[in-house]
Each structure stands twice: as C-alpha cells, then as structure tokens.
Amino acid sequence: MEYRLWLARTRGSVSLADLSKYKSRWTALLCVGVVACAGAVLSRPAILPNLAKATAANLIDFKAHWAKGDMIVLVRHAERCDHSSAPCLGPLDGITERGKSAVQNVGLQFQKLGMQNADIYSSPLTRAAQTSGFMFNYASVDQGWLFNCKKTMLTDTLSHKVKGRNLVLVTHSECFAALEKLMDLPASKTRDYGYSLFLTASNDGGRPVVTGFVDATDWQSVVGK
C-alpha cells in the first residue's frame, strides 16, 4: 500500500519516495553551496603581514632571504610638497623637508639590512628621485615604468630582478595598487610616505610571494636599534 502525504493548499499529493528524492536533491544542493562558500573564503587574499609585528622566527627568515638577495621591495616616495603645508625642499612636485628626514631614517634601516647586493631604481618624477637620493644617495634615470605602471608593473618588476641581488624600487602608491591587483593581493589599507612592501622572488622567475610591509616609523621593530 502506498502512503501519500497530502499537502495543505495543494491539489496533488507527494509520495514518501518523492520526498526522499527531493531530500536527496536538496542535500546535494546544500553540499554544493557549502563547498562554494568554503572555496570563496579560502581563495580570498590574506591580510598583508606587518613585519613590525612578525615573530622572531619570521624575521630571521626574512633577513636570511634578504642576505641571499631574494627580495623585491617597493618603497613609496616621501611626503610631497603639493600635498602638504610643511616647508618644501624645492619644486612643488618634490618632497618636503620633513619627508627628507623621514626617508633618510628609512635609508639607514636599509643600510642595517645591507645594501651591498641591491639594485636600486626610482620613478623619474621629482618626488621619487629625491626620495631615492636621500635614502640611498642614488637616483636612477629613465625608469618610466615605475610611474606608468598600471598594466605592466609585475612583468617589469620581474624583468629587472637579478638572481642573487635584491631589487629596491622607489615608486608611487598607484604602482603599489597595480602590483597588488596583478598579484591578486589585498589592497594595502595604508601606504603612508616611506611605506615599504617586501616580496620574496621565486627561484624560477615566476610570481613572487608577499613577505610583508613596514611603515616608515616601525623599522626599529624589524632591524633593531
């Protein structure tokens, strides 16, 4: 004898077999939904690590990669005159006196890491060239890719990375954003003047791995006094 469950407000009936079939379908759909949600969460980019809050072990690993010349670092230029009321060093498209002092201090922290095996490039715009000069006593020329960078920032960066030598790029917030987008990284919440983003290059020349960032005022936590 077939048992039927009569549904309220309907003229038809659903058998227990039908219910079992619908239950199986809903279970399958639920599983698919759970898997999809889990995949979305897992594929979501992680928050960029703050190296000033890294563990001692992570900092040892970071410094070891730097010593081997495995790293790429983007540095944002110093405070720009046309966005500040602070005293200016010179042209309005350059940096302020306060910005000069800040990036000179950042440059000293890079010296503590060691710059003997580093290649330095800067955007040709005055604020970036000045920053590079005061940080490293060096300002490169004809590096337009560090300003016009939206579509090619990743490929241009990798093409300038020499194996066994760290690559230091003094550039602009737009180029940080371009690289983060091309690498599917979360956008930086802050890119203050003198902000540095470190990446570890892959051995095969492929996409680098994000290591973390350091704000200009947080270097003591990374390299010590």
Q: Express each pLDDT in 142-191 by its tens digit.
A: 899 999 999 999 999 999 999 999 999 999 999 999 999 999 988 766 68
pTM above 0.85, yes or no: no
Q: Collapsing DSSP states into helix, strand and coil, what is residue 26?
A: helix
3 versus 164: which is more confidently predicted? Answer: 164
Q: Is pLDDT above 50 for 38?
A: no
**Domain encompassing residue 26:** 4-43
Closest CA to 151 of 123, 173, 175, 185: 175
Q: Is the dihedral of CA 5, 6, 7, 10 positive or negative?
A: positive
Segment (H or E) for 165? none
Same domain, 86 and 195: yes
Q: Is 66 exposed, middle or buried (0-12, 13-18, 19+ CB in 10 A)?
A: buried
Give the whole-angstrom CA distance, residue 196 versus residue 194: 6
Same domain, 8 and 80: no
What is the separation of C-alpha 79 from the centre of its chain, rounded to a whole number of angstroms? 20
Same domain, 116 and 159: yes
Please name the residues in contact with 57: beta carbons below 8 A apart, sequence gap of 6 or more. none
> What are residue 53's DSSP bridge partners?
none
- The per-residue pLDDT for range 111-141, each reduced to its tens digit, is 999 999 999 999 999 999 999 999 999 877 7
- The per-residue pLDDT for range 60-113, each reduced to its tens digit, is 999 999 999 999 999 999 999 999 999 999 899 999 999 999 999 999 999 999
138 versus 35: which is more confidently predicted? Answer: 138
Give the whole-angstrom CA distance, residue 36 versus residue 42: 10
Q: Is the dihedral of CA 27, 33, 36, 42 positive or negative?
A: negative
Give the whole-angstrom CA distance, residue 214 versus residue 195: 6
Write out the E strands in 40-177.
71-76, 118-122, 166-171
Residue 60: CATH number of its domain? 3.40.50.1240
Q: Beta 13-15 vs 4-6: how paired, if at all?
A: antiparallel
pLDDT confidence band for 18 (50 / 70 / 90): low
Question: What is the count of structural domains for the chain?
Answer: 2
pLDDT score, position 170: 97
Same domain, 126 and 156: yes
Same domain, 96 and 183: yes
Closest CA to 54 of 211, 217, 225, 216: 211
Same domain, 13 and 119: no
Same domain, 37 and 60: no
Same domain, 66 and 19: no
Same domain, 215 and 191: yes
pLDDT confidence band for 224 (50 / 70 / 90): confident
Same domain, 37 and 56: no
Same domain, 27 and 71: no
Same domain, 61 and 38: no
